[in-house]
Amino acid sequence: MQSFTEKIEKLTKVASVEKLNWSYRPNGWTVKQVIHHFADSHMNSFIRFKLALTERIHTGRPYNEDVWVNLAIFRNKKMGPSIKEFDQRPIRFGFCTSGT
């Protein structure tokens, strides 16, 4: 069975620039932006989780997704680094909770 990461890598490697820049609704995010956002969102949740474990009084820190999605990395066709994040996050969450 293919992992989510493998499926996304396979689909994005063969997708045209036009398809990667496609948005399903007016003023919506493109396929590239959604993929990069997914990685950023998971990184943020991991950092927030670690902060909650280590701070006596934790205050959730928001980030402006609509501003982040317009950063240069989101316009980049190379999504590999963001896609690679998909499989790593659950592993790192496991390390935080297992005590090993």
CATH code for position 9:
1.20.120.450
Beta bridge partners of 23: 30
Say if CB 87 and CB 39 are below 8 A apart. no
Domains identified in the chain, total number? 1
Say if CB 14 and CB 60 are below 8 A apart. no
Threshold 0.85, pTM exceeds: no
Length of the chain: 100
Where in the sequence is the domain holding 50, given as residue range(s)? 4-98
Per-residue pLDDT for the chain (100 aa), expressed as one digit of tens each? 468 888 888 988 899 989 999 998 998 999 988 888 888 888 888 888 888 888 888 888 888 888 888 887 766 667 787 887 777 766 666 666 666 5
The 3-state DSSP class for residue 78 equals coil
